Structure 1
Amino acid sequence: MSDRKHRIAIVGTGGIARSHARAVTSHPDRAELVAAVDVDLDRAKEFAAAWDIPAVYPSLTELLAAGGVDLVHLCTPPNSHVPLAVECLAAGVDVFMEKPPTLSLDELDELIDAEAKSSAQVACVFQHRFGSGAVRLRRLADEGVLGRPLVALCNTVWYRDDAYFAVPWRGTFEVEGGGPTMGHGIHQFDLLLSILGPWQKVTALAARQARPTQTEDVSMALVTFENGAVASVVNSLVSARQTSQLRFDYENATVELEHLYGYKDENWSVTPAPGQEAVATAWSADAVDVPSGHAAQYAAVLDALTSGAPTPVTLAEARNTLELAAAIYASSFTDKPVYRGELLQGTPYASRMGGPGAPWSSTP
């Protein structure tokens, strides 16, 4: 593309759409909102009025038929992501898709196949990768400043009451794809994976402790990585003191992050190992403070669209994250360790996160 403004449409005008609208409008010289789409046309009109969007459509099909759109933001429930993204790809229109990208590994592979046949591409929303703290951590790790990664902790311990699950599509494998493993903690362990790279093996458990949900409300996993690091991953919706925590213990330092739904540089801390005080100097040398969030990732997406590079996070990158989620369910429900690459196409936990069904439920 040229340096002209990218023409943006938001499909699905529920709560998360506001984050996408803020991201677009934070780059007024590079992107403009030209359309809003929702099956609830009144809601779309209200959203369009709030964000000064000139056109409203009741369906993606009508939007694409009208033309004049460069990038579609998919902010619809997860079960609609694949058919809508495939429709965009068939029309040669790029996609920026909310998490979780698909409900299963098989669906993600279907989308990868559709992308391969299109001139367009799909980027998945994993915005925590793009805050300056995460960028800095990856750079220092790549440069060898931190030494070898040894141990990591990744905790997404949040609170959602019974009323939260009254929304019909929440807490189901068919529409949401799973519980906190898929819908909440996936952001934190995606950041974990973006730092530590490909995982190798997972041993996990999941439980329904308190909430009226088909899915788990808690999961816990022990993960080994190809680089030798080991990590624990906890995802919870029953934790009254909510927090999101990551800790990385390297040979030369411990790097920690604590926040809730988004971080700034002030949420990170570095503790050098004895004799490794230079690590703290290297960390503080970069004064840029970019908060994590949709706007940070969106800047990278616009850069890629302008240069013709792959838009981050690519489907291939997202697959590593989604495969870990599937493996957590598979290990939890079969009481066995699961290795990366083991969940082959068409097998129960590749075709559905919950496999044959959660052990506490008589129905899938």
Structure 2
Amino acid sequence: MYRAAIVGTGGIAAAHAQALTDHDRARLTAVVDLDENRARTFAGSWNVPTVAPGLTTLLETGDVDLVHVCTPPSTHAPLALQCLRAGVNVIVEKPPTLSLAELDTLAEASRASGAHLATVFQHRFGAGAARLRAMAAAGDLGRPLLATCETLWYRDAAYFEVPWRGKWETEGGGPTMGHGIHQFDLLLSVLGPWERVTAVAARRDRHVDTEDVSMALVTFADGTIASVVNSVISPRQVSALRFDYSHATVELSHLYGYTDADWTVTPAPGHAAVAERWAQSPSAVQSGHDGQFAAVFDALDSGTAPPVTIEETRRTMEFVAALYASAFTGTPVNAGDIGPDSPFATRMDGAGAPWRAVRIG
């Protein structure tokens, strides 16, 4: 029975609390928030026995096995670093850090203390994604050829009135960093190592410092090519992925979470058995935090790093940095190009977005 604590009791914290409540392998024992009244209200709603005055005090008690960081993005790295240095495992919401450099600092702290960091990329753990990866690995789908990944969402002006949103210093980026990251992380988990990114990013309509739309062409190590689109200016919202294999097209269309009903499989001529194999293990469970937390507990039980590990997270975060680097420099970026001396290693906008001195409208 793992003793879990939540730091930050804003909107996403409820998803963590619900998932922890649904599991019989964890107990939510404490919450922390800068707003004590909000923390106490949250604790009362979820029957949490302890409202700690701060993370330092909570860690000093030694009464916690896993800390869930649900605070705004700019606080993720310092809070996670504090947990790791105290030898306490931590699971952090996306984006895990604002930069590759911050993530590398957390990796060093993890190696030094032996405590683990996991990033919440819950869409990897839905039944459909697991089935897709298994069938691809078994060769049932044939060779991967082409993929598309679209996160077309809509966030109005009121959404960006929250002080930390839409700013490189506090959010780390726009829809590439904070919205589309879920879908293209799932894409990367299916297709494996990416090799090259050619991208554009723009601020088309929102009064923000970051981009409000980005597009990328991606080449993978095995030659597969993909397009990735991230937007917060699209009134008809959808989260859509499509994978074209030599034996079938596999598609997912949802918004914030999926079930088997959101997937379709179209076999190529002569490969009808692909659809039959897909239908052999149906699931009615929606993708979400529950599935990932179960995998986290399994890993902790076995003494291994819980998913999504720092190494896996870094591949996704390097993709984000490469997309911005390509968009702002006008050149393709290969995996491994962004070294510690690159401005894109310490800030996702590098030396600054090209529109930083331009007003909208």
List alignment gaps of at least 5 residues for structure 1.
none
Separation in 2, partners of 1:338, 1:67: 44
Amino acid at match of 2:212: D
Residue aligning to 1:98: 93
1:81-122 CA deviation, whole Å, 9 max, x = no partner? 111111111111100110001101111111111110012100
In the TM superposition, what is the alpha-carbon distance from 1:288 to its structure 2 partner?
Answer: 3.3
Residue aligning to 2:81: 86
Alignment of 1:13 onto 2:9? yes
Range that drifts further, 302-311 or 235-244: 302-311
In the TM superposition, what is the alpha-carbon distance from 1:290 to its structure 2 partner?
Answer: 3.1
Map 1:149-168 to 2 at 5 A. Answer: 149-168=144-163
In the TM superposition, what is the alpha-carbon distance from 1:287 to its structure 2 partner?
Answer: 2.3
Q: Secondary structure at the match of 1:175?
A: helix
Alignment of 1:135 onto 2:130? yes
Residue aligning to 1:345: 340
Separation in 2, partners of 1:354, 1:43: 34
Query: Does the CA contact (< 8 Å) of 1:188 and 1:244 recur in 2?
Result: yes
Runs of 4+ in 1 over 6 A off after TM superposition: none
Query: Does the CA contact (< 8 Å) of 2:215 and 2:229 recur in 1?
Result: yes
In the TM superposition, what is the alpha-carbon distance from 1:289 to its structure 2 partner?
Answer: 3.6
Amino acid at match of 2:299: A
Separation in 1, partners of 2:92, 2:341: 24
Q: Secondary structure at the match of 1:174?
A: helix
Residue aligning to 2:352: 357
RMSD: 0.9
Residue aligning to 1:67: 62
Separation in 2, partners of 1:191, 1:278: 25
Residue aligning to 1:51: 46
Amino acid at match of 1:51: W
1:238-296 CA deviation, whole Å, 9 max, x = no partner? 00000000000000000000000000010000000000001011101112343211111
In the TM superposition, what is the alpha-carbon distance from 1:56 to its structure 2 partner?
Answer: 0.4
Separation in 2, partners of 1:232, 1:244: 14
List alignment gaps of at least 5 residues for structure 2.
none
Equivalent pairs, count: 358
Separation in 2, partners of 1:13, 1:233: 32
1:140-194 CA deviation, whole Å, 9 max, x = no partner? 0000000110000000000000111111100111111100000000000000000
Amino acid at match of 1:188: Q
Query: Does the CA contact (< 8 Å) of 1:106 and 1:346 recur in 2?
Result: no
Residue aligning to 1:23: 19
Separation in 2, partners of 1:48, 1:320: 36
2:197 to 199, 202, 208: 202
Q: Secondary structure at the match of 1:201?
A: strand
Separation in 2, partners of 1:251, 1:173: 41
Q: Secondary structure at the match of 2:113?
A: coil
Separation in 2, partners of 1:237, 1:85: 28
Residue aligning to 1:269: 264
Residue aligning to 1:294: 289
Instruction: Percent identity, please.
Output: 63
Query: Does the CA contact (< 8 Å) of 1:290 and 1:296 recur in 2?
Result: no
In the TM superposition, what is the alpha-carbon distance from 1:354 to its structure 2 partner?
Answer: 0.6
Amino acid at match of 1:120: A
1:317 to 309, 312, 318: 312
Residue aligning to 1:109: 104
